[in-house]
Amino acid sequence: MIFRLDERLLFPDPELAEPDGLLAVGGDLSAERLLLAYRNGIFPWYSDDTPILWYSPHERFVLFPAELKISKSMQRVLRSAKFTVTLNQCFEKVIAACSVIERPGQDGTWITDEMMAAYIGLHHSGCAHSVEVWHKGDLAGGLYGVAVGAVFCGESMFSLMDNASKIALVHLCQSGYSPIDCQVYTPHLESMGARMISREEYMKALNGEL
């Protein structure tokens, strides 16, 4: 059953989500609602031609930093100092770049103008963060997401140069967050050590019980 949200600041039990993780529709992207969602293992994912859709997958694709796999070629890139990395220096540029980067098998973007405005607001309140990767003074890649306690809920990443987004992820893994919620499965992230865990285990992480 898919629930329709109203102006009340609440969500249904995430365990009632559909098999694909869809839990609810409607509501808004206020900071209060977004933070309530993330604290309960829920996130918005929709496009311009749909209402706001809220998901809570029955399994989560996460990366525990202790399980990060760095290939030998990637280790050489890290040692080369080819890139420099910063935190929260240009959140708006990172989310804008994520919204326009072309992704195989994906038409358009789910990072709508409404979504961008909402997450920029979360950033200004200290709840959303970005990792920026630079090459000779130019932004080469990065990622952004929402911090919930020790969990980093990754929203999106982009790369304009080979390895730039991997550099951002490696740096994030060294920033004290665990686990990093990757949300959507990709072979690329699996090759770096990400794996599926149950919702129950994920909620324990959100509650600081892992």
* Nearby residues of 44 by Cβ (< 8 Å), 6 or more positions away: 29, 34, 37, 52, 53, 54, 55, 115
Q: Are 35 and 87 part of one and the same domain?
A: no
Give the pLDDT band of residue 110 (cuts 50, 70, 90): confident
* Nearby residues of 45 by Cβ (< 8 Å), 6 or more positions away: 53, 54, 55, 110
Q: Which residue has the higher pLDDT, 7 or 102?
A: 7
Q: Are 115 and 177 part of one and the same domain?
A: yes
Q: Are 11 and 104 part of one and the same domain?
A: no
Q: Are 70 and 46 part of one and the same domain?
A: no
What's CA 25's distance to the chain center, in Å?
A: 20
Which pTM value belongs to this model? 0.93
pLDDT over 60 at 104, yes or no: no
Q: Are 82 and 164 part of one and the same domain?
A: yes
Angle of the 164-173 helix axis to the 72-80 helix axis, nearest 10: 90
Helix (H) or strand (E) holding 72: helix 72-80
Range of the domain at 14: 3-58
Number of structural domains (the chain) is 2
Beta-strand relationship, 3-5 and 22-26: parallel
What average pLDDT does range 59-81 have in this prediction?
94
pLDDT of residue 191: 94
* Structural contact between residues 171 and 163, judged by C-beta atoms closer than 8 angstroms: no
- How many CB atoms neighbour CB 87 within 10 A? 13
Instruction: Give me the CATH number covering residue 91.
Output: 3.40.630.70
Distances (CA, A) of 105 to 71, 100, 108, 126, 146: 26, 14, 10, 33, 25
pLDDT of residue 208: 87
